[in-house]
Structure 1
Amino acid sequence: MEEKIIALTIAGNDSDGSAGMSADLHSFYAREVYGMGLLTAAVAGNTTGIYAQEVLPIAFIQKQFEVLNADFTINALKTGMLANKEVISCVAKNLRNYHMGKIVIDPVIMTKHGDTLLDDDAYQTFLTELLPLADIITPNFYEQQRLTASTLGNKAAIKQGAIKLQKMGAKNVLMKGRHDDTNQDTVTDIFLAADGQFYEFTKPFINTDRINGTGDTLSAVIAAELAKGSSMFNSVKIAKDFTYEAIAHPIAVGSKYGPINHLAAQQEIK
């Protein structure tokens, strides 16, 4: 009987399947690892918006950690929506107590449009308890600015911001490129490796409203590749390629801001 490699997502779930845990599990499956989900919250939403959300009780989140670790060897994990101070503290405590492989942290503190998702107490808890546990952190542009308290107006500033995040505890840092300017031709992600080397990953900009779940997918694919034993560099490169292909082959799901296409990415990226 084949023993499967396991990747875990610790996140909220979007009911329309476009983002959060749904996107993570799509990504794990596409990268041929067995995906598990430790649920922190549930979101009632569709392609027109988010209409309600519920955070799960801390005792239930804690129990999920206990039962998963009692029965499985988890090879890598990623975090997503953690909602509030109490959830962040619970997750950080368990990541310190249990060994579950490499830790990919998708901050989920601000949206790709610059809207704040965490209150000040939760944000400070994220900085002090969770960020230092990251084998890699994958902030979007607005999260980069908040985390570094800097206006990142050019490539040199972004690199300095990455160095600052590394000094705050993250071993590797992926500064995701902006994709909210319809006049741009390309999107460049800047990767700072644990050894201090910088790398750039550039793809054509695709002007589309089918981008729900892009950040979730990118971080989930990194986790999947790390679970399989890939290097951090190769995991990031595969994730960048995979996410690009998922955006480049849009699918008609919903009436407005739709999901990306994990099926196309699965076919294109072997």
Structure 2
Amino acid sequence: MTKLAAVQMVSTPQVEENLASARRLVASAAAEGAQLVALPEYWPIMGMSDSDKLAHAERDGSGPIQDCMAALAREHGIWLVGGTLPLVSPDAARVLNTTLVYDPQGARVSRYDKIHLFGFNKGSESYDEARTIVPGEAVGVFDAPFGRVGLSVCYDLRFPELYRAMGECALIVVPAAFTHTTGLAHWEVLLRARAIENQCYVLASAQGGLHANGRRTFGHSMLVDPWGEVKAVLREGEGVISGTLDDGFLASVRESLPALKHRKL
């Protein structure tokens, strides 16, 4: 049994403000017994414009955001999946949208750069992440004491082939900042589908509310089990959801319905 927690935030344009919120919420999750905690996408900054994050992009391995995450993991003795932060890329006009993972000693053990970049245009709502983000190229996984963990971010959720490329995971983590429009339509059904088809737990940590820049994110951070049942959810606002990864239940699902062994492609 492993206790998991997802932090939900309503991040602001102020990095220090967001760091303080993350410290408080991660501490709360750890106090409730969480052994692995996930932060949401864009947790350190949701700027007034998409380009604001360029000024806060850190070089790989150093910077206040990375220092904060390493310290949180070490202080609380947890595995920390650090949502995403902006890292410097070879393109001066764009950043990498990166998930970093830290072990309970505060050492970095994995990195995943978001591969699929969100684009949406409907009425007055328009997004194009490719304007300010360079896509990643490699699948992200790491090994924890309870099994393999797959890393994905937000829009990745719509591309099931990415999850197949991770191999057999005990847990998939999905930090996100889903818009309210797309989240209302697709968020839960996609999370449950990824859990069912990969027969694993899915932990989704989301942005959830109205931000200073006018954007409304959907929230609904949740934990889904390998049978597709939602075990915990937080609709809106900042907070923490938690639940248990039961390796016995995971094994029983795979034994009773061995779909992963029945794959042909």
| TM-score normalised by structure 1 residue count | 0.43
Judging by fraction of residues, say which structure has more strand.
Answer: 2
Scaled by the length of structure 2, the TM-score of the pair is: 0.43
